[in-house]
Amino acid sequence: MNADICVIGSGAGGAVAAAELAEGGAEVVLLEQGAAHDPDDFSARPPEMLARLYRDGGQTLTLGKPPMLLPLGRGIGGTTLVNSGTCFRTPAHVLERWSAEFGLELDEASLRPCFERVEQALSVAEVTPELAGANAAVARRGAERLGWSHGYLSRNARGCVGSGVCVFGCPTSAKQHTGITYIPRARAAGARIVTGADVREIVLERGRARGVRARLSGGRALEVRAPLVVVACGAIHTPLLLARNGIGGGSGQLGRNLSLHPATAAFALMEERIDMARGVPQSFYVDEFAAEGIMFEGVAGPPGYAAMSLPLSGARHARAMARYRDLAQFGLMVSDSSRGQVRSLGGRPLIRYDLAHEDLLKFRAGLARLEELFLAAGAREVYLPLPQGVRPEQARARDLKLMAFHPLGTARADARPSHGVTDGELAVHDVEGVYVADGSVVPSALGVNPQMTIMALATRLAMNLLEKAPAPATAARGAPHESESEAACPS
C-alpha cells in the first residue's frame, strides 16, 4: 500500500492531521490499533463501557507515590471518544513560556486561526445553565457566595441532551469526538482508514522514513510505503514506538518529562434534589486559583459511577448512596510540577510518576477550598477523598486517592536537538520524515484540558506537511481550496 503520508493513531492529533492532509490533496493512510465503535452499542453502563472503550479496561496505572489510574481511550477517536469534551485554548502565559524556555515560535496570534478552525469543526460552544444541571448550580452558588472567579465550560457538542455519561461513550453522538468529525472527513477526502493495525516498525532508509509495517488483528502483515510518517499514538505509546525503532533518542529526553494532571473529587450531601447524572457532567469551572496550579471542574455520573467513586465504606457508603439523588460532586485538577517517565517492560508501558511535594501542597490547599466551596453552597456534609479523620492540611501523598489525566511531554518539542525529541515544526530531530502529532510533543503542563492544544498543533502540522507532500499526488487531486490551505492556519 502506497501513500504520501502514513498517520498512526486516530485521536485528537492523528485524526485531525489525517483529515486536513487528505482534504489538502495528499494520499493518506491512517492506521488505528483499536476498533471502530458503534454508538448504538453504548449502554451507559460503566463496567461494560470501560472494558469496551478504554485501553486495558480503564486500568492503566502509574507506579509511584501515590499510584494513579490513567484512563486512555482505545479505538477510532482515541481518548476524544471518552473524555468530557472540555475545550480550552492554550493559555497565553503557557505559550510565552514555550517561547522563552523551549524556543518554540508559537503565540496566540499564530495559533488563533488553527483554534478557530478546530472549534468550527467541533461545534464548540459554551454550556448553558439549563444543560449544565443542578450539580453545576451547586458549584456556581458556592463560587458566587465566596466571590471566586468561575464560568461555564466550552465543549465540543452539538444537540447535547445531558445524558450525563460522556466518559462512557455518548449514546446520542452529541459529543463531537474525532470519530464522528475528522475521521469521516478524512475518509470522504480519500484517506484509507485501517483499524486493528498494530504498528511494529517505522521503516527507515539512510536516516529518513520510508514507511510503516504493522500487524493486523487477523495476524496478516501490512506495509505502508510512505516518505512521511506522522506518529500520533499518545504520550504513553508514542515514545515506546519511537524507542523501539531507535528514533528520537538523541537528546536523552524520549520517554521522560511526563506531565500529568493529577486529579481527585469530593462529594457533598445537599438539602436539595441534584440528580447529578442529569446534565453535562463537566460543564462548570472555578479558576480563582489557576495561577497557583489549582483548577476546579465539574464531574458527575450515574449511580454505578458514584458507587465506585464515593470515598466512603461500609454503612457510611450505603447511607450516602441511599441519598444518591441529593449528592453533588466537583473535581480538583492540579497543574503539576512533578515529572514522570515512560519506558517499555516486556513490550508494555511502565509509567513511573511520583507526586512532588509542591504538588502535594496544591492538593492540600485545593481540597480545603473545595470543602469551603461546598459548605458555602449549603452542603449538609462534605465527603473528601481522604482517610477518615484526616484533614486536608494533614494529608500525605499516600493518603490521596488520585486519578491522572492528560499525559503530555514524553517526546517534547524543543528547538534545540540536545533538549527535545521534536523541533518547533514537530519533526523528530534525528531523522527525516517522521513527525509527532499528539500530547507527547507538548513541552509543559497546561493547567487546562489539552484536547484543543493538540488539535491546533496537529492542524498547523498538517498545513506545513502539505507543502512537503510529493507533487504528483497533490496535483492529481488539485490544489486545496482557500479554506483548506495553509492560508486558513498559517504556520
Residues noted as catalytic: 406
Q: How far apart are CA 13 and CA 453, in angstroms?
A: 9
3-state helix, strand, coil in the chain (%, to 5): 35, 25, 40
CA 482-487-490 angle, 5° bins = 155
Q: What angle, 0 to 180 degrees and rounded to 10, lies between the N-to-C axes of helices 14-23 and 451-466?
A: 30
Which string of b and e fits 219-242 if b means at least 16 CB within 10 Å?
Answer: eeebebebbbbbbbbbbbbbbbbb
Q: Which three cell numbers stand for residue 271?
A: 438539602
The residue written with cell numbers 501513500 in the block is 3
Can you name the residues that pair with 253 across neighbouring β-strands? none
| Beta strands at 124-126 and 150-152: parallel, antiparallel or unpaired | unpaired
Residues 366, 331: contact at Cβ < 8 Å?
no
| Beta strands at 259-269 and 327-334: parallel, antiparallel or unpaired | antiparallel
Which residues does 30 contact at the CB level (< 8 Å), separation at least 6? 6, 7, 8, 9, 10, 14, 15, 18, 183, 186, 191, 192, 193, 194
The residue written with cell numbers 495561577 in the block is 291
Q: Which three cell numbers stand for residue 64?
A: 509511584
Which residues does 71 contact at the CB level (< 8 Å), separation at least 6? 54, 58, 60, 79, 82, 167, 403, 405
Q: How far apart are CA 230 and CA 461, in angstroms?
A: 9
Query: How does DSSP classify residue 91?
Result: P
Handedness of CA 418, 109, 122, 285 (dihedral sign): positive
Query: Which 3 state secondary structure label does DSSP give 162?
Result: coil
Q: How far apart are CA 179 and CA 187, in angstroms?
A: 11
Which residues does 399 contact at the CB level (< 8 Å), separation at least 6? 386, 387, 390
Q: What angle, 0 to 180 degrees and rounded to 10, lies between the N-to-C axes of helices 129-146 and 357-376?
A: 100
Q: How far apart are CA 171 and CA 40, in angstroms?
A: 7
Peptide bond into 417 cis (omega under 30): no
